[in-house]
Amino acid sequence: MGMVALVVGATGLVGRSVTDELLGRGELDEVRVLVRRLPDVTHPKLLPILVEWDQLERYGDAFSGVHSVYCCLGTTIRKAGSQQQFRKVDVDYVIKTAELAKQNGVRQFMAVSSVGANPKVRNFYLRTKGEVEERLAGIGFRGLHLFRPSLLLGDRTERRLGERAASLLMTSLDFAFRGPKLAPYRAIPAQKVARSMVNIGLTDIKGHHVYTNEVMHVLGEAAD
């Protein structure tokens, strides 16, 4: 078998775009996705693997032979229902995914974080994202790549009225966010984030790297 990639969080906004991007790349022979239910789409390269998220440790075999993992897991406190449930998705599931990947020899690990991620800030969301970044850095991947987008643009499967309103506003004001001071907060299409992740993931770059919002606007330019 040739190169294999695995996507976790493949039903989310970025995860769907990452999966589509990977399926279109000739370098890959197989794209595995960990999902709770079978996706609506089929593809010769696509291999869905049904999982119970609270029992991720049972699915180590899914990571066998995988070159790169794309971790696109994420939720909101409103959807999760509490900070505790939010942490289960955004921390526990992400770290368990990374540990399984490391145990099975995965070389490249990509994860979606957030602009402003910092384990020392007061904001719960950004502090949590910063904590995850720190813990991922301690696992010891050959290549760890953290992507910090600002507000994501794209069609979500669920309705988020606040994000929808913010997307419309920031899209109309995009010209104002192109300067150096506001560029880190410029809204970005999920497809650009996905293209950036795949462009990096298909390489064999060593080390720990952080990709800012501004960088992803360049790396994913061909996604427009």
Q: Provide the annotated active-site residues.
A: 125, 129
Looking at residue 24, the DSSP 8-state letter turns out to be T
Q: Average pLDDT over the chain, rounded to whole?
A: 88
In the block, residue with structure tokens 């291999």 = 47
Whether 150 contacts 187, CB under 8 Å: yes
Contact residues for 144 (Cβ-Cβ < 8 A; gap 6+): 109, 111, 136, 137, 207, 208, 209
Alpha helices in the chain (DSSP H): 13-23, 77-80, 83-87, 94-103, 124-137, 161-172, 190-201, 213-219
Residue-level pLDDT at 175: 46
What distance in Å separates the CA atoms of residue 143 and residue 110, rounded to the nearest whole number? 8
Whether 217 contacts 192, CB under 8 Å: yes
pLDDT in tens, 148-190: 999 899 875 555 555 554 444 445 444 444 555 666 678 899 9
Other C-beta atoms closer than 10 Å to the C-beta of 86 total 20
Percentage of residues of the chain with pLDDT beyond 90:
74
pLDDT in tens, 88-146: 999 999 999 999 999 999 999 999 999 999 999 999 999 999 999 999 999 999 999 99
101: which 2 tokens? 């990947």
